[in-house]
Chains A and B, each alone.
Chain A
């Protein structure tokens, strides 16, 4: 019981429970479709939070890494006839290499300049995907076959949901491991006080580069899955909007909070669907909710809620 109260085990158990029970409330395939989108976003955001929340480095280019993974799977499977897993792994490896090559010069920048540089990288990738039509199908997009693993084809949104749920648990577990390890502490230390970390032997830029690569690879792998699930992709997924959306999920859910990222991704994926009934006012209400959250819960949803609960509990005895 005491173990369940710990953020790690308790959080994972709660997440597993919520994901297992949620389908009971899903009335039709559309619910599954939205839920899979939320799971995909949650995976990317957990990775991205390692970079942004724990490492203190912003990136406005992760939508593009997602898109590169998606296109790697599309081109790899339909054009070259690669097995889906090979295309997914190849895309991840390529994106990892690209992120590694970009990271050293880019992560030397700070604040606004870092945001600008990652934004630039994203835009270049977007333009390449849009204009290299002989490879990517250009602005019209390209079709992708469904995902087939060991002879089994994932055909329905329900099957995708369970795959996504399992993978999200895995990603959360890995991220928690990393954060609590010497690697994660070194990363957080570099964000907390760079000089203080350097003098005890932490090569702070090494850990920033590492996390840039890790988060980019996660985005790429999820991009590959998205391509197979959606069956059709366009260059728009590499766009500026998508990258901003991902960062917003991380910030809203809570910086340096793994479960916060899951919550942020869930809310920002599901909320627009729930607000669809308000027609023209949808965007306005959505914006107001986000503004209110950031004004009243500036640390993000989950960290603020936890702090609130602790305060109440602390006040009692």
Chain B
């Protein structure tokens, strides 16, 4: 069954087609990668799926219901979570607090219990803190639990965003270039994290330039160029596709 279905999706920015008539679907429980040269429309596609942009035309369906144009804050409740290519970390908070914001929808968010520090509300918050500390361990940030986010290195912040997204308990996790700016060792660590996430039953959609990572962990790959679908299939199929090779290496005419 497909968890995410995109049909005839288009997004125009003043005459420029960032995404044009794109259709694909993501099966539940798989790792699905989206690749393409810079400017191919990968991040725009993410922003369309996660409600940050409103589609010009077409439809996005998540878990059987249309979500085109639904506000981002409502999508989290449906089970959609993401990370960002350009970090969206809360630098005014500690690392664990960043992750705890991810669990926002699973906490007692009522005003009066929060204001009066009622025991039930505090207990749930403590349990959440423990859970979030385990999530940080899971992504390899065990050493940073009480660190200020503003004092953490770039590679750790990338993983912090993954932990925050996981704290929302998503069905679908969208990762926008999780390995960008990381060295080879850090990239392999992210590899492992993504595999573990998928093994826990979370469907992963990944935008990534690191081909070694993409080819190594993906069940399915979608290649984009100029906002259109270039190729789709298993890693082996996409790697052998002449159009993909041409888009990446330049075509011989």
Contacts and interface: CB of A to CB of B under 8 A. Distances in A.
Residue of A174, A188, A191, A200 contacting most chain B CB atoms (<10 Å): A200
A201 B76 contact: yes
Interface in B79-133: 81-82, 84, 87-93, 97-98, 100-102, 104-105, 107-111, 113-117, 121, 125
Nearest to A193: B88
B115 A185 contact: no
Q: Tell which of A181, A184, A195, A204 has the most Cβ of chain B within 10 Å.
A: A181
A256 B97 CA distance: 15
Contact of A182 (B73, B84, B92, B109): B109
B219 to A, nearest CB: 24
A181 B100 CA distance: 10
A166 interface: no
Contacts, number: 104
A186 B76 contact: no
A194 to B, nearest CB: 8
Contacts of A174: 115-116
A181 B90 contact: no
Contact of B81 (A177, A200, A202): A200
- Residues of B in contact with A, size category: 35 or more
B247 interface: no
Nearest to A184: B114
SS of B interface (majority): helix
Contacts of A5: none
Contacts of B114: 177-178, 181-184
A202 B101 contact: yes
A178 B111 CA distance: 8
Given A199-B82, A201-B76, A182 B90 contact: no
B104 A182 contact: yes
A203 interface: yes
B147 interface: no
A256 B93 CA distance: 11
Contact of B90 (A177, A197, A201): A197
A219 interface: no
Given A192-B90, A193-B88, A197-B90, A185 B72 contact: no
B88 A181 contact: no
A238 B243 CA distance: 69
Given A183-B109, A186-B109, A200-B104, A256 B115 contact: no
Given A192-B92, A198-B73, A199-B81, A178 B104 contact: no
Interface in B155-207: 161, 164-165, 167-168
B90 A200 contact: no
B107 A182 contact: yes
Interface of A: 174, 177-178, 181-186, 188-189, 191-193, 195-204, 210, 256
Interface of B: 50, 52, 71-77, 81-82, 84, 87-93, 97-98, 100-102, 104-105, 107-111, 113-117, 121, 125, 161, 164-165, 167-168
Given A185-B97, A202-B101, 17 more contacts: A177-B114, A177-B115, A181-B113, A181-B117, A182-B109, A182-B125, A193-B87, A195-B88, A197-B101, A198-B71, A199-B88, A200-B76, A200-B81, A200-B102, A200-B105, A201-B105, A201-B168
Q: Which 6 A-B pairs have the closest CB atoms?
A: A196-B88, A201-B76, A192-B90, A181-B114, A198-B72, A182-B107
